[in-house]
Amino acid sequence: MAKRLIPTLNRVLVEKIVPPTKTTAGILLPEKSTKLKSGKVVAVGPGLPGKAGNRIPVAVKEGDTVVLPDYGGTQVFLCDKEYHLYRDEDIPGTLHD
Amino acid sequence: MAKRLIPTLNRVLVEKIVPPTKTTAGILLPEKSTKLKSGKVVAVGPGLPGKAGNRIPVAVKEGDTVVLPDYGGTQVFLCDKEYHLYRDEDIPGTLHD
Amino acid sequence: MAKRLIPTLNRVLVEKIVPPTKTTAGILLPEKSTKLKSGKVVAVGPGLPGKAGNRIPVAVKEGDTVVLPDYGGTQVFLCDKEYHLYRDEDIPGTLHD
Amino acid sequence: MAKRLIPTLNRVLVEKIVPPTKTTAGILLPEKSTKLKSGKVVAVGPGLPGKAGNRIPVAVKEGDTVVLPDYGGTQVFLCDKEYHLYRDEDIPGTLHD
Amino acid sequence: MAKRLIPTLNRVLVEKIVPPTKTTAGILLPEKSTKLKSGKVVAVGPGLPGKAGNRIPVAVKEGDTVVLPDYGGTQVFLCDKEYHLYRDEDIPGTLHD
Amino acid sequence: MAKRLIPTLNRVLVEKIVPPTKTTAGILLPEKSTKLKSGKVVAVGPGLPGKAGNRIPVAVKEGDTVVLPDYGGTQVFLCDKEYHLYRDEDIPGTLHD
Amino acid sequence: MAKRLIPTLNRVLVEKIVPPTKTTAGILLPEKSTKLKSGKVVAVGPGLPGKAGNRIPVAVKEGDTVVLPDYGGTQVFLCDKEYHLYRDEDIPGTLHD
């Protein structure tokens, strides 16, 4: 069965980050800290075709931690694992330490 | 009767892959593994005309295994076999082993 | 009375192909084989004007057997014979033996 | 009073052709032959401005017999005579003997 | 108080022509002759900005007698006199003797 | 507190002109003379970015007396004084003596 | 946990300025002075891709005090602190002393 999905055009494949609900010590975390929906980019498309035969670079890259929009995206399952496809323009930003 | 359909512009002709409902040994597969709709690209159009007399290359190619969108596409029958036509921009990605 | 219609811009004039309902030997054909709507292109326009004073070539040519979309097109009658006008981008593909 | 109307941009001024309802010999014509709405182009605009300071040529020319769309167009009266204004892209084709 | 209005972009300032309801000799004119709404162009804007730093020329000029669309336009009052502002693309044509 | 607002892109900041309701001698003015909504441009943005790295000049300039559209615009308060922000394309024209 | 958010494309990250409701001496401020919604830009994206492989500069920059639109924007939480993401074209202007 297929193991890898390469997105088309300016699409990006994202694995959602599920925020921990308790600390490693077992203490329950308040709901407040879970408000930002984020994910890890696992694959990006080649970009939309430009006017001059070029490709418009995709706004995020593989490995980026990205903020996810509240709505939209397409749910896909690869090896029973859930991923989401987004157009790069729908990704509001990237997260850094 | 016509045997071959060549799509126009950026359209692609896809034969849907029907996921097996049981293994070769006859064991029924759980419904979960069938969630990804996919197909095999059997023909692609020449691409949309670009601004400079060029053709914008189609995002997928003949033989590609593609993820299919949940909605859209045009059903066509060739020799009583069902195919679907999509605009390349509606194909979310390609699948690889 | 007018005998010839030359479509404007990227329009194409199509004569619908009515699929035979019985074989030459008189055997009734099952309805299934009639599912693909097709037509013969009898005239094409000069193409849409491009940005550089050029013409964007029309996606199909006179004599092509084309798949027809399920909806759309403009019905015209020339010498009491029915034809349909389509924009070339609405023609999903061409049929070949 | 004004006698001549010069359309702006890509507009064309059309005088509708009213199909005869009987032959010159007085025989009533069946309604079927009247199904194609057509008109004579009496004036065309200079064309839409192009990107390079040029004008995009209008798709039909003065004197052309044109097929008219079923809907749209603007009715104008010049010297109590009825005319219609159309954008050239709404004219589906020209008619020739 | 302000006496002159210079339209912006591709707008034109028009003074509507009220068709006479009777001849100079006092004979009432039938309503039919009043069907064409027209006006005199009293000012035009500099045109929309083009892609190359140029201005796209306005489709009508000061002094033109123009056909007016049935709807649209913005009513303005200058020194208690009524005028209308239109985008040049909404003016269907110019009238000439 | 902030004293100056510089609009972005092709926006213009306008202070509405409230027409006098009586003359300096105290005579009430009829409502008719107040029909034209106008304002004074107090700041303009740098213009929208053009295709060639340039800026498309804003259609009006600081100090201009402008006709205001009947609807639209964003109300802002600076030091308790009311201003309005408009896109330059929504300003129908400028007023001159 | 992530500490920095870099917006994509022409997005800007804004920390809203909450207007003081009383002076430092404890005197309550009237509601009138709070009417302008503003914020501090804490991060900007690289700009939208232009046609020539360039980037269209973002209309505001880090550190700018900006007027905020009445609606729109995406609420995000970073380290339990509230921020908002806007497209630069939705920011009506910048504020200066």
Top residue of F18, F24, F36 to mutate, by most chain E CBs within 10 Å, is F36
- Cα F29 to Cα D80, E3, F24, G11: the distances in Å are 45, 18, 10, 50
- Cβ contact C65–B5 (<8 Å): no
Question: Among A49-58, D27-36, F2-11, whose mean pLDDT is lowest?
Answer: D27-36
Q: What share of chain D in percent tops pLDDT 70? A: 91
A45 in Cβ contact with B92 (< 8 Å): no
Neighbours of chain A (3+ CB pairs under 8 A): B, G
B27 belongs to a structural domain: no
A30 belongs to a structural domain: no
pLDDT: is A11 or D29 the higher one?
Answer: A11
The per-residue pLDDT for C59 is: 96
* Nearest residue, CB atoms, C54 vs list B9, B53, B80: B53
CB pairs below 8 Å between E and F: how many?
Answer: 63
- The mean pLDDT value for F59-63 works out to 97
CB contacts, 8 Å: B54 with chain A = 53
G83 belongs to a structural domain: yes
* Nearest residue, CB atoms, A36 vs list G6, G13, G77: G77
* Nearest residue, CB atoms, E59 vs list D8, D51, D74: D8
- Cβ contact A5–B60 (<8 Å): no
F82 belongs to a structural domain: yes
Look at chain D and report how many structural domains it folds into: 1
F30 belongs to a structural domain: no
Neighbours of chain G (3+ CB pairs under 8 A): A, F
Average pLDDT, chain F: 88
The model's pLDDT over D64-81, given as tens digits with 9 standing for 90+, comes to 999 999 888 999 999 889
Contacts with A, G 29-68, CB within 8 Å = 43, 45, 49, 51-53
Which residue of chain D comes nearest to E64, CA vs CA? D6
Structure tokens at G82: 């509230």
Whether residue G96 is predicted with pLDDT greater than 80 in this model: the reply is: yes
Q: What share of chain D in percent tops pLDDT 90? A: 63
Query: Identity (one letter) of the amino acid at B57?
Result: P
Whether residue E25 is predicted with pLDDT greater than 80 in this model: the reply is: yes
Kindly report the CATH number assigned to the domain that includes residue G68.
2.30.33.40
The model's pLDDT over A65-76, given as tens digits with 9 standing for 90+, comes to 999 998 889 999
Average pLDDT, chain G: 88
Which residue of chain A comes nearest to G4, CA vs CA? A96
* Nearest residue, CB atoms, E95 vs list D2, D11, D53: D2
The per-residue pLDDT for A1 is: 52
pLDDT: is A91 or F72 the higher one?
Answer: A91
D6 belongs to a structural domain: no
CB contacts, 8 Å: F54 with chain E = 53
Whether residue A6 is predicted with pLDDT greater than 60 in this model: the reply is: yes
**Tens place of pLDDT per residue across chain C (97 aa):** 557 999 999 999 999 998 777 777 888 776 655 568 999 999 999 999 987 778 899 999 999 999 999 888 999 999 889 999 999 999 999 999 8
Q: State how far residue C90 is from chain D, nearest Cα, in angstroms.
A: 15
- Measured CA to CA, the distance from residue C17 to residue C37 in angstroms comes to 8
Q: Are strands C38-44 and C11-17 parallel, antiparallel or unpaired?
A: antiparallel
The model's pLDDT over D41-69, given as tens digits with 9 standing for 90+, comes to 999 999 999 877 788 999 999 999 999 99
Whether residue A33 is predicted with pLDDT greater than 60 in this model: the reply is: no
Whether residue E53 is predicted with pLDDT greater than 80 in this model: the reply is: no
What are the backbone dihedrals phi and psi of residue E28, each rounded to the nearest 5 degrees, phi first? Answer: -65, 135
**CA-based R_g, chain E, Å:** 15
- Cβ contact A93–G80 (<8 Å): no
* Nearest residue, CB atoms, G53 vs list A33, A54, A95: A54
- Cα B76 to Cα B18, C66, C92: the distances in Å are 17, 12, 10
Whether residue E2 is predicted with pLDDT greater than 70 in this model: the reply is: no
Whether residue E51 is predicted with pLDDT greater than 80 in this model: the reply is: no
Neighbours of chain F (3+ CB pairs under 8 A): E, G
Question: In which residue ranges of chain B is pLDDT below 50?
Answer: none
DSSP state of C54: -
Which residue of chain B comes nearest to C96, CA vs CA? B4
Chains G and A touch (3+ CB pairs under 8 A): yes
Residue D64 lies in domain: 11-19+34-95
A20 forms beta bridges with none
CB contacts, 8 Å: D7 with chain E = 92-93
DSSP three-state, residue A68: coil
Question: Among B22-26, C36-40, E79-83, F91-95, whose mean pLDDT is lowest?
Answer: B22-26
Structure tokens at C23: 């074989």
- Cα G19 to Cα C73, F1, F76, G30: the distances in Å are 60, 10, 15, 11
- Cβ contact D92–C78 (<8 Å): no
Partner A contacted by B72 (CB < 8 A): no
Interface ipTM:
0.84
Grade residue A31 by pLDDT with cuts at 50, 70 and 90: low
- Cβ contact B6–C93 (<8 Å): yes
G42 belongs to a structural domain: yes
CB contacts, 8 Å: C51 with chain B = 51
Grade residue F80 by pLDDT with cuts at 50, 70 and 90: confident
First and final C-alpha spacing in chain B: 36
CB contacts, 8 Å: C13 with chain D = 93
E84 belongs to a structural domain: yes
Q: State how far residue A34 is from chain B, nearest Cα, in angstroms.
A: 28
- Cβ contact B2–C50 (<8 Å): no
